[in-house]
Amino acid sequence: MAFFRTVAFAETLPTIEGQGVTLRLPQMVEFEEWAALRTASRDFLTPWEPSWPADDLTRAAFRRRLKRYAEDWRTDQSYAFFIFRKQDNLLLGGLTLANVRRGVAQAGSIGYWLGMRFARNGYMTAAVKGVLPFCFETLRLHRVEAACIPTNTASIRLLERCGFLREGYARQYLCINGVWQDHLLFARLKDDAP
């Protein structure tokens, strides 16, 4: 994994290299590709995501999203990445390390999405494995958490492949697709074996 961060955030965007994938901070020039991928994958993603705002796929909403990502990055609250296939730089999906907590916790939570046509090809496994050294070495987190709906067997298997252990069950944990959903809770610690 390679991670590059400069003092001036706007000069060079950070990049994480994983096996066959590259993760980097989203940019405005990627709006059309992102909107097309999200549109084509809407039915596939809807059961696993919060409800989309009416204007979610507009250029203005995307611009607001990028501003929030940049501010969250600057304040060490969240780190959003788009995932690209290395061979052709095609946008595959996204991964966010959110809710970064410092002090005695030193933890954050990951969430991710992948375009429907790219699912079950190992891209998200490569992205999660690629981002873990960034979490543990660069950000010096002790713990990375993830939650998924109990019926999302693909996500459960992905987390287990990436060394996450199931730690619990949270009732009505997140509002997904307009309904408060129960979630399985997973975590990976810095010292856990890969």
Buried/exposed code over 164-179 (b: 16+ C-beta within 10 A; e: otherwise): beeeeeeeebbebeee
- pLDDT score, position 14: 75
**pTM of the predicted protein model:** 0.90
Residue 193 reports pLDDT greater than 80: no
Structural domains of the chain ordered from first start: 15-144 (3.40.630.30)
The fraction of the chain above a pLDDT of 70, given in percent, is 92
Give dist(CA 48, CA 119) in Å, integer: 14
Distance CA 175, CA 35 (A): 23
Q: Mean pLDDT score of the chain, rounded to an integer?
A: 92
